[in-house]
Amino acid sequence: MKKIAFIILSSIIMSSCTDMDLIPESNLSPENFFKSEEDATASVYSIYSVFTDNDIYNQFWEVLQSQGTDDSEWSGGRTTNNLDKNALDKFEFDGNTNLVYSLWIKHYVAINRSNFAIENIGIMNPDAIKDDVKNRLIGEAKFLRGMAYFNLVRIYGGVPLVLKQTTSLDGLEVPRNTVDECYDQIIRDLQEAKSALPAINQLPKGYLGRATKGSATALLAKVYLTRGDYQNVVKETAEVMQMGYKLWDNYADNFNLDKENGQESIFEIQYKRNTPGVSGSNYNGYYRPPFVNINGWVGYGDDPVTRNHYDCYEAGDLRRDVNTRLYTKKEYPNMSSNYEFPCYVNKFIDLSPLAIRSQGGENNFPVLRYSDVYLMRAEALNAINPSDIEAYNCLNIVRRRAFGLKMNEPSAIDIKAGLNKESFLDIILLERRKEFAFEGQRRFDLLRTHKLKEAMMAQNPVIGSIVDEKHYLLPIPVTEMDANKLLEQNSGW
């Protein structure tokens, strides 16, 4: 399906610097820029563009979410020269690790751009922009700000809440807010976004690919799930289920380039290949093995898949071969003989000759899919009442699709009722591991259920023995600690 391209507009882009709060570097001031609906829309597009960056969803997000979990490990002859990636993989990172800093700073770029848009669109002359457009654009900015803070609080714990645009170098030192204060603000932003954003059957022309009422509602459900507020998870997922989303009959359709932003998609990070000023997806090369040459170039082989992950699929689960591929020396004689288990991520492949190394691929990165709503709901219902039959039904709908079966008919692969709460949770986490493999979810699932160390011990006891309580949060970057003396470091770092 046609996607919207978030073109980076240099006139309103705010560049990264060493301070958490960033000053707009621009020849245009808010007073002479926000004169039309197009100007307001451009300011919101500039927020979306941050999330397409290499330091967030276009690579580092997935480094954080899979490397350093049981899904991916540099081992068995598969090595990397990237010190940051190796540090995440082996739990050797600290406050000086560049990736730890990059994630922090780019999310605050997105937050500052959100603040910039929210404040200036809010005071635009009614003659320049219609009220419904104004409210929708502010809703988009609040959704993106809420998403940025949700990412940050899960990664670092309580972080400084900066809710006004930075206009001077004064007052840049800001203390950390508590985790509860951060979540209160995230929920407030998402609730306000939810009330302002269009439903999927009411999208304005050319809007596909942007935040919707469903995006805000589903993300709220994930926020509540992370907080253990299961009643609200049930409430929010029920609302999403009335919005018209549907699972694809075929799991692989979620990653078909011709079906992006389709019936199962709730929110995706948009990428477009070979288009000046628009980000292409790096995953086409990031995941491709270093011995596979397509259109004249080989990949990097990042997030090398563990045997632990490959073996977690049951016989007949069609997701395994969509998510991963186990290569052989017979197929690829140029493969290094040092590779003990040459398994790599098979998602996000773009075979087009236009998907060249410098321009990236067309593949969007899924943040929220409708299957997530089913599994979040199943987890919450089980937490409230382990005997709830609907929890099993939600789980089994996703499982049946994975085996190519009719989703609404009982089958031999169904999980049978009668499990205790903890056993059902373990099955849900395993199902999520397979359903959302290499989609930026595994680490957060292990963190919120406090099962990271357990998973790493099962994958590699040498690494697992290193995992400590401090590893459930990243350290605050040293660069930020130096620039902002009011920041306090996370415990253990």
Q: How far is CA 150 from CA 193, 289, 296, in A?
A: 14, 32, 40
Question: How far from each other are the two terminal CA atoms of the chain, in whole angstroms?
Answer: 46
- Would you state the structure tokens that stand for residue 220, as one six-digit string? 């709220």
Classify the C-alpha dihedral 439-443-446-450 as positive or negative.
negative
The answer to whether residues 371 and 400 touch, using CB atoms and an 8 Å cutoff, is: no
pLDDT recorded at residue 467: 97
Strands 343-345 and 293-294: unpaired
What does the pLDDT profile of the chain (493 residues) look like in tens digits? 455 655 544 334 443 333 333 334 445 566 778 999 999 999 999 999 999 999 999 999 999 999 999 999 999 999 999 999 999 999 999 999 999 999 999 999 999 999 999 999 999 999 999 999 999 999 999 999 999 999 999 999 999 999 998 766 666 789 999 999 999 999 999 999 999 999 999 999 999 999 999 999 999 999 999 999 999 999 999 999 999 999 999 999 999 999 999 999 999 999 999 888 888 999 988 999 999 998 888 999 999 999 999 999 999 999 999 999 999 999 999 999 999 999 999 999 898 988 887 778 999 999 999 999 999 999 999 999 999 999 999 999 999 999 999 999 999 999 999 999 999 999 999 999 999 999 999 999 999 999 999 999 999 999 999 999 999 999 999 999 999 999 999 999 9
pLDDT of 169: 66
Q: For residue 23, what pLDDT is reported?
A: 39
- Give the position of tokens 């406090």: 450
Q: What is the pTM of this model?
A: 0.94
- Specify the pLDDT at position 22: 37
Query: In which residue are the tokens 């999980």 written?
Result: 415
Q: Which two tokens stand for residue 176?
A: 């950390």
Q: How far apart are CA 230 and CA 276, in angstroms?
A: 45
Dist. CA 455–CA 248, nearest whole Å: 30
Q: How far is CA 310 from CA 4, 239, 315, 393, 424, in A?
A: 35, 35, 11, 26, 22
State the pLDDT at residue 198: 98
pLDDT of residue 6: 57
Residue 233's pLDDT is what? 98
Do strands 265-269 and 293-294 pair parallel, antiparallel, or not at all (unpaired)? unpaired
φ, ψ of residue 117 to 5 degrees: the values are: -70, -45
